[in-house]
Amino acid sequence: MNKYTKTQDDIYSVFDSTAWKTNNVVTYPADYVPPDNSTEFIRLSIIPSGESLNSNSISGVIMIDIYIKAGYGSNRIWEIADLLDTFLVEKSFSLSTSVTQFFNSSVGDGDDPDKTLNRKIYTIPFKHFGVQT
């Protein structure tokens, strides 16, 4: 496995965990098109960029689109953002000899062409530290 695959595996492991799944927040990868009747879900994008420690390391940002049904305010969005913080902020994950570490998050506006959904964008930077061999 390379640094990109290891990073993705570490990040996806959070959302595949029993602890995450008990919160009933449906989670999709960035390129997945949810069913038309979906009213609450998140969509996860991993964007590698920035400096790295060595050729087996990368840094970047995770962008998570938070969607809820429009017309009900943003309270549920903030609840999901707080939940994401609980699982990600200042946490580290490792499924191999490397480690993926998360830092502090932020939430920004996100317009969506589907006016039946309210969307915000949760972002959190990460660094993946790979072992130099």
Q: Report yes or no on whether pTM surpasses 0.85.
A: yes
Q: Tokens 């049904």, residue? A: 69
3-129 in CATH: which number? 3.30.2000.20
Where residue 68 falls among pLDDT bands split at 50, 70, 90?
very high
CA torsion angle 68 69 75 78 (round to 10): 10
pLDDT digits (tens, 9 = 90+) for 15-67: 999 999 999 999 999 998 888 778 899 999 999 987 777 888 899 999 999 99
For the chain, what are the domain ranges? 3-129
Out of 21-25, 100-104, 112-116, least confident range: 112-116
CA torsion angle 112 26 125 94 (round to 10): -160
Where residue 113 falls among pLDDT bands split at 50, 70, 90?
confident
